[in-house]
Amino acid sequence: MPHAFLCDFDGTVSPSDIGAAFVRAFSPDGSAESPEFLARWMSGEMGHRELTLAQCALLSVTRDQALMFTRKFALDPDFAPFVREAEARGDAVAVASEGFDFYVRDLLERAGLGAVPWSANVARFEGATVRPEFPDVADGCGRCGNCKGSHVRAWRARGYRTVLVGDGLSDRCGARAADQVFARRDLLAWCRTEGIEATPFESFADVREAVGDARRVGPFMGTPRRSASPTTSRTSAGGGH
C-alpha cells in the first residue's frame, strides 16, 4: 500500500513558525501572539479558526509587506530530497497548514516544489487589512481553520496509509486520525500525554532515514499504533501552524 505523508508547514517543512512570526511582527506590540491568546488556544478554550480570526483583526500589513517578511524564512533542506524519494517509491507527500496560503505557496514555489499538493488558510489582503478565509472541509472538526484530520481521512479514502508529520498543537486532529505519526516539540509531548504512538524527529533528515527506500520500510510503518512511551519531551513556546 502506498503511503501519504501529510506534513505540517510552520515548524516542520519550515523549521521556523512563520505564521507566528508574521502575526507577531504586524500586530501592535506583538499582541497577536500574546500569552493570553495562546493560553486560551493551547487549553482548548478556543479553536484555531477563532484564534486566526482574532489575530487577523489586529494586523496591519499589505500583501507586499507580508511577502517581503516571509521570504526571510527557508525550508528544511532535507524536505525536497524527502519529496523526491517518496515520489520515486510511489508514495505521496502533501502539505497541510494552519498558516496562510500566500507564504506556503510562495516558499514552496521558490524551492522548486510548486507541484507538491498543499492546503492552508487564505489571507485576503484588502489594503493593510487581512481577512482570513478557511478551506471548506466537509468532515472537519469545526474548530480548526484547516482541519488536518479531514485531509488524513481524504488521503486514506484514496487508498493510502497515512503518516502525519508535525510539531505543534495545530496537528492534533491529524495525529488522532493518522495511521502513523512523526512528531517533535509540542506535538510529541501531547502525543505522549494522549497515549498516541509517535516517532520523534528533529528534521526531515530523520524522517528520510526512518522511512528508508521502497525495499526497506522501517518497523514504524508496519506495526499498529500503541501507547507512546512516557519519556519527557522538550516543548516549544508556540504551537505551530
Query: Cβ distance 172 to 187 under 8 Å?
Result: yes
Local confidence band at 18 (pLDDT 50, 70, 90 cut-offs): very high
User: Secondary structure of the chain: what % helix, strand, coil (to 5)?
Assistant: 40, 15, 40
Domain residue ranges in the chain: 3-221
Whole-model pTM: value is: 0.89
The pLDDT, as a whole number, for residue 241 is 66
Point out which residues pair with 191 in neighbouring strands: none
Q: For domain 3-221, which CATH number applies: 3.20.20.70, 3.30.1490.100, 1.20.120.430, 3.40.50.1000? A: 3.40.50.1000
Share of the chain above pLDDT 90, in %: 82
The dihedrals phi and psi of 144, each to the nearest 5 degrees, come to -75, 155
The pLDDT, as a whole number, for residue 230 is 34
pLDDT at residue 189 above 60?
Answer: yes
Give the tens place of pLDDT for each residue, 53-72: 999 999 999 999 999 999 99
pLDDT at residue 171 above 80?
Answer: yes
More confident residue, 114 or 218: 114
**In what side-by-side order are the strands of the sheet with 129-133?**
129-133, 118-126, 92-100, 3-7, 161-166, 180-183, 199-200
